[in-house]
A and B are shown apart, each in its own frame.
Chain A
Amino acid sequence: MLRARTARDLLLSGFALVPAVLLALGCTDDENKGYAPSNCKHSEPTTGFLRVELTINQTNHRVPLTIFEGAYEEGKVVLRDTVDVEDVSYELRVGKEYSVLARYISGRDTILALDSESLDVASDEYQDATCYYVEEGKADVRLHD
Chain B
Amino acid sequence: MNSFWDLFSSVNFYVTIIALATPIIFASMAALISNKAGIVNISIEGTMLVSALVGAIFSTLFSSAIMGILFALVAGVLMGYLFAFSTIKLKTNEILVGIAINILAAGLVVFIIYALTGNKSDYSSVPLKTISIPLLRDIPIIGKIFFDSLNLLVYLAIVVIIAMSFFLKKTVLGVRIRSVGMNAKAVDSIGVSSEKVKLIALLIAGGLAGLGGAYMSIGFMSSFNTGMIAGRGFIGLAAEAIGAGIPYVTALFAVVFGLVNAFSLTAQTITGINIPYELLNTLPYFVTIIGLVIFAVIKKRRNKNNI
Q: Do A and B bind each other?
A: no
Which residues of A are interface residues toward B (Cβ below 8 A)?
A: none
